[in-house]
Structure 1
């Protein structure tokens, strides 16, 4: 199953997002940020791809500051457009 990774520029935003996604019953894994993703925070959150819409909506609605959403591909982690995943 494919997964999505959220990278952050601050540990505070990572911890805040962890709490918000857990409250929404999204199965998450907090893990070190992969070296190929340039971010100011050593923590990232990984979750199932099918929860992208819900996670993006929470991040938008709660005004969480993130570096971006990423998905692992053959060439490494690629940034994915997430604003388009949220309607309204």
Structure 2
């Protein structure tokens, strides 16, 4: 199967911060969802926010406004069961 999915991911060290920041992004109109953090990113609380990578600038604007503590921003390319993960500087 040659299916490719691309998305952005924000990993957190706190479940509360992940949930609250997800709500802030939704209020800003970003279609986001809470997901389990991929095993390749073993940092944090186990919860991450998944978002369309095309909205990275909007997500970063909200992040800069609220400055939630995050363990990292990532660009995920998924092909089958494999993830290619690139850290996004913030």
What TM-score do the two structures reach when normalised by structure 1? 0.82
Counterpart in the other structure of 2:88: 80
Q: After the TM superposition, which segments of 4 or more aligned residues of structure 1 sit over 3 Å from their partners?
A: none
Report how far residue 75 of structure 1 moved.
Answer: 6.2
Aligned residue pairs: how many? 82
Counterpart in the other structure of 2:12: 8
Counterpart in the other structure of 2:72: 68
Aligned partner of residue 62 in structure 2, secondary structure: helix
Q: Which has the higher strand share?
A: 2
Q: 2:29 aligns with which of 22, 25, 32?
A: 25
What TM-score do the two structures reach when normalised by structure 2? 0.81
Unaligned runs of 5+ in 2: none
Counterpart in the other structure of 1:39: 43
Q: Which has the larger radius of gyration?
A: 2
CA RMSD of aligned residues (A): 1.6
